[in-house]
Amino acid sequence: MAINWFKYSSPASFYSLAGKMIPVFVVASVILLVAGLYVGFFVAPTDFQQGEAYRIIFIHVPAAWMSMFLYVVMAFWAGIGLAFNTRLSSMFATAIAPTGAMFTFIALWTGALWGKPMWGTWWVWDARLTSELILLFLYIGFMSLQAAIDDPRRADKAGAIIALVGVVNIPIIYFSVQWWNTLHQGASVSVNQAPSMATTMLMGMLIMVLASWMYSIAVILKRTRVIILERESHTAWVAELRKKEAVR
Amino acid sequence: MNWSSMSEFFSMGGYGLYVWGSYIVTFICVIGEILLITNRRRTLEKQYGLIHDLNKKETKNETTS
């Protein structure tokens, strides 16, 4: 059986596929969010060192992970768009940036609110915190550069260069706690070690990570659909879609 | 269960400002992002004159008049 791998690389077919997928991810994210908050606040015990303040972890860690992960995904699609000139890949990268920036901001914000009671300061110029701040600037740079260029295809290419160059920051963020002396604690979860926290705490955190995933996918698909409509307004299929909507 | 009363829950062992400050701002960001996208789509639908949006306007006019 021949599979047409390129079917969904066309904005028109992706548009309708994404429309069907969004509700699934919305429902999944709401269920996971409720479950994660329940475990986080009512099942996970009080931390013996940090008291209740550690409960910030249930947003801080998922947000920080998503901020890095979304950047890699954004750079990947921007790179594919640059290399193969596929316009949907570039639109996808553009759609990821605001959500990535939001998660970066949340990671920094919750980090500051966690740092104040634990370290006695909102902010330090330490490797982990500084590299995460640079990540926020990369997202903002990507978005403002694209917004500043009128021709969308040129904006895609320029954005892709920033996105790809910025990828170098991701391993720096990830390994910063090992490479430099830092106030920030080491990884709570890693591949080759048992997690350094209670099982219910870990469960709550992982459920919240899944919830952030589902949320991000839903929101990014929704934004991609809007971008497709904006950019493809001159095409026959959008005209067709308008007619169809008119009949309904 | 960790909490014996509502006030205990809200005070978060004295860390209420930090814990709720984190959760509330995150909540605002998420809702804000959803509203921004919805709004962006609305504007587009209006521009394109998609009919289900016009229907909405008509029903709105009926209820206000």
Long-range contacts at A114-121 (CB < 8 A, ≥ 24 apart): A114/A53, A114/A56, A114/A57, A114/A60, A114/B18, A114/B22, A115/A183, A116/B18, A117/A53, A117/B15, A117/B18, A118/A50, A118/A53, A119/A183
Report whether pLDDT(B49) > 60.
Answer: yes
Residues ≥6 apart with Cβ < 8 Å to A149: A155, A158
pLDDT in tens, A157-166: 999 999 999 9
Residue A51 forms beta bridges with which residues?
A47
Report whether pLDDT(B51) > 50.
Answer: no
pLDDT band at A237 (very low <50, low <70, confident <90, very high): confident
Could you tell me the pTM of the whole model? 0.88
pLDDT in tens, A15-24: 888 989 999 9
Of B23, B34, B37, Cβ closest to residue A226: B37
pLDDT in tens, A106-139: 999 999 999 999 888 899 898 899 999 999 999 9
Q: A148, exposed or middle or buried, with CB in 10 Å at 0-12, 13-18, 19+?
A: exposed
pLDDT band at B60 (very low <50, low <70, confident <90, very high): low
Report whether pLDDT(B65) > 50.
Answer: no
Chain B positions in Cβ-Cβ contact with residue A220 (cut-off 8 Å): none
pLDDT in tens, A112-121: 999 999 888 8
pLDDT at A238: 82
Does the CB of A122 have a partner CB in chain B at under 8 Å?
A: no
Least confident of A138-142, A186-190, B43-47: A186-190
pLDDT in tens, A166-183: 999 999 998 888 888 777
- Asked if A63's CB is within 8 angstroms of B13's CB, the reply is no
Query: What chain B residue is nearest to A239 in terms of C-alpha separation?
Result: B48
pLDDT at B53: 46
pLDDT at A3: 62
Round to whole Å and give the CA distance between A242 and A240.
5
pLDDT at B56: 52
Report whether pLDDT(B58) > 80.
Answer: no
- Asked if A230's CB is within 8 angstroms of B44's CB, the reply is yes
Chain A positions in Cβ-Cβ contact with residue B52 (cut-off 8 Å): 245, 248
ipTM: 0.86
Chain A segment 67-86 residues within 8 A of B by beta carbon are none
The type of residue at A8 is Y
Give B62 to chain A, closest Cα distance, Å. Answer: 20
pLDDT band at A248 (very low <50, low <70, confident <90, very high): very low
Round to whole Å and give the CA distance between A47 and A37.
16
Round to whole Å and give the CA distance between A17 and A221.
10
